[in-house]
């Protein structure tokens, strides 16, 4: 079963506008973490923001904020005031707590990504 | 500015050749992950080390892939023999314990002809 779903293969946004990238997840573990990474055309994976399952407030990092709706199992990334340099692939990822029965080892499970293009 | 480093950045080889990829985790990090990225499969875990001990390598084809951490500053991923289907970008990521954010290296883009 797919654990991380990003339903938007590609999105366009006008420079200086805000954009929301969708991410839904599936887990029965009460303890988990949610991450967003940016992958520009150069190929590197850049960590953007983290949200823990027990965090009471939505995470924010500069122009990035994470709209965490636990009951809906969604963790959407909001980028405010888009810039041309924001054009990239964006990956949502989840980390479940390690288990002793051979399940998660704390590794990240990634969605398929959303390609964001910022128009001047 | 601490970063994960990976060498080589690009590798083109012929089918059947041995390929070795190297990763230097961020100093002080005790967890190292190897991921592979392809268009078809996306990002998937190959192997995971904690305190240099391999904890999970179930994502690797055992007959041709091997991962080691000879010391705390070096992780290696070997493919022998390589096949065209191994063409992908291989990322190393490190963190401090599993709870920490994983920071990725720049990746090694492997092309097997």
- pLDDT tens string A18-53: 999 999 999 988 888 999 999 999 999 999 999 999
Q: Which structure tokens are listed for A71?
A: 């009951």
- Identify which of B21, B16, B8 has the alpha carbon closest to the alpha carbon of residue B82: B16
Q: What is the mean pLDDT of residues B28-52?
A: 91
φ, ψ for residue A67 (rounded to 5)?
-90, 95
Q: How many angstroms separate the first and last alpha carbons of chain A?
A: 39
Q: Is B51 left (phi over 0), alpha (psi -120 to 50) or beta?
A: left
C-alpha distances out from residue B14 to A48, A110, B18, B40, Å:
37, 30, 9, 22
> Tens of pLDDT along B41-83?
899 999 988 888 888 777 888 899 999 999 999 999 999 999 9
Distance in Å from the first CA to the final CA of chain B: 36
State residue B98's pLDDT score: 61
Query: Least CB-CB distance to A105: which of B43, B55, B99?
Result: B55
Q: Taking CB atoms and an 8 Å cutoff, what residues of chain A touch B43?
A: 91, 93, 108, 110
- Residue written as tokens 């078809």? B40
Per-residue pLDDT at A2: 62
Cβ of A108 within 8 Å of Cβ of B55? The answer is: no
User: Looking at residue A26, what is its pLDDT?
Assistant: 94
Q: What is the pLDDT of residue A101?
A: 52
């Amino acid at each position: 079963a797919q654990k991380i779903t990003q339903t938007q293969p590609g999105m366009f946004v006008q420079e200086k506008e805000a954009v929301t990238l969708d991410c839904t997840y599936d887990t029965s573990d009460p303890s988990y973490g949610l991450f967003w990474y940016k992958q520009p055309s150069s190929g590197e994976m850049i960590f953007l923001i983290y949200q823990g399952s027990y965090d009471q407030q939505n995470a924010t990092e500069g122009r990035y904020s994470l709209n965490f709706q636990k009951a809906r199992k969604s963790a959407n990334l909001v980028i405010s005031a888009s810039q041309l340099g924001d054009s990239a692939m964006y990956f949502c990822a989840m980390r479940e707590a390690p288990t002793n029965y051979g399940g998660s080892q704390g590794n990240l499970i990634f969605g398929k990504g959303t390609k964001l293009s910022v128009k001047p | 500015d601490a970063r994960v480093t990976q060498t080589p950045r690009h590798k083109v080889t012929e089918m059947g050749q041995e390929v070795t990829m190297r990763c230097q985790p961020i100093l002080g990090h005790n967890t190292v992950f190897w991921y592979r990225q392809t268009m078809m499969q996306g990002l998937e875990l190959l192997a995971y080390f904690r305190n240099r001990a391999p904890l999970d390598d179930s994502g690797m084809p055992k007959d041709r892939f091997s991962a080691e951490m000879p010391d705390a500053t070096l992780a290696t991923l070997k493919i022998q023999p390589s096949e065209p289907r191994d063409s992908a970008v291989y990322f190393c990521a490190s963190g401090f314990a599993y709870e920490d954010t994983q920071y990725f290296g720049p990746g090694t883009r492997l092309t097997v002809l």
